[in-house]
Amino acid sequence: MNRTDFYLNVKLISVIVVTLFLSGCYSLDQNEFCPFGKGASQEVDYSSPVIISSNNNIIPTREQKALLASSRHFSSGVINETYDSAEYLCENKELSIEQYQQLQGIANVFIHSGAVFPWAWTENGKLQRDPLHLALEDNDAGHIITGAFCVVGICDRMDHDQFCKNKERAYLKNEKLINKLIDYYVSNKGYEITYPNTKTVSYCKGPKW
């Protein structure tokens, strides 16, 4: 075999190897390179909610759209009002009575919507009551404030100092919190929001050792 044939064979082998390596190696949803291949799973499609009445009847499309729009407005309002209180305390020592009462109401919304679980695991692996639940039971104003702030990611002094610097309201994009508040709003209107559809989600596989 001469040198030219050798290099041609090397190039051919390289092309084959690269083709096999890349085949199926990109996650369809994340568009990321997957050196060990990709897999797929069925997940709930939260983008296609269906609202039903107490009689298990699907309500008209126009009514569904209006109710969902109102619920999203409610959700963003609750989150923004929590951030507003946190931002007020960047320059002020305490909330006014009216501001505190508003935040106390929001804390109750977080509780009743299921956004905050009654029990939580500690770093030591022990199960204990959630601080916000306890604060509301004891009418502990200080811990009600800090507990409500923690729902939107401001859990300690360092978090609050950072928030005061950047004013970033990241939880306005937190789908888990948003969906809990939307479900709560719809439920209070006497309806139930369901997610009957699923979607295929691809993911990168890990190495098999």
| Residue at 36 is within a domain | no
- Averaged over 132-157, what is the pLDDT? 96
Instruction: Look at residue 63 and tell me whether its pLDDT is greater than 80.
Output: yes
Where is mean pLDDT largest: 11-15, 45-49, 163-167? 163-167
Where is mean pLDDT largest: 123-127, 129-133, 197-201? Answer: 129-133
In this predicted structure, the answer to whether residue 4 has a pLDDT above a threshold of 70 is no
pLDDT at site 110: 98
In a domain, 33, yes or no: no
Residue 95 maps to a domain: yes
Domain for residue 197, yes or no? no
- Tell me what the pLDDT averaged over the chain comes to: 85
For 139: left if phi > 0, alpha if psi spans -120 to 50, otherwise beta; the answer is: left
Cβ burial of 148 (10 Å; 0-12, 13-18, 19+) is buried
What is the pLDDT at residue 1? Answer: 58
Phi-psi region of 114 (alpha: psi -120 to 50; beta: other; left: phi over 0): left
Residue 20: predicted pLDDT = 44
Q: Is residue 124 part of a domain?
A: yes
Q: What is the domain count for the chain? A: 1
The whole-number average pLDDT for the span 174-190 is: 95
Read off the pLDDT of residues 11-21 as tens digits, 9 standing for 90 and up. Answer: 555 554 445 44
Backbone φ, ψ for residue 198 (5° rounding) = -120, 165
What is the band of 27 on the pLDDT scale with cuts at 50, 70, 90?
very low
pLDDT at 145 (0 to 100): 97
Q: Is residue 209 part of a domain?
A: no
Least confident of 25-34, 127-136, 139-148: 25-34
Structural domain harbouring 101: 64-174
Position 118 confidence tier, pLDDT thresholds 50, 70, 90: confident
Nearest to 191 by CA among 11, 12, 71, 83: 71
How many whole angstroms separate alpha carbon 94 and alpha carbon 49?
Answer: 40
| Band (46; pLDDT cuts 50, 70, 90) | confident
In a domain, 108, yes or no: yes
Tell me the pLDDT band of 128, cut-offs 50, 70 and 90. confident
- Is 70 exceeded by the pLDDT of residue 7? no
pTM: 0.74
In a domain, residue 32? The reply is no
Q: Mean pLDDT, to the nearest integer, of 169-180?
A: 96
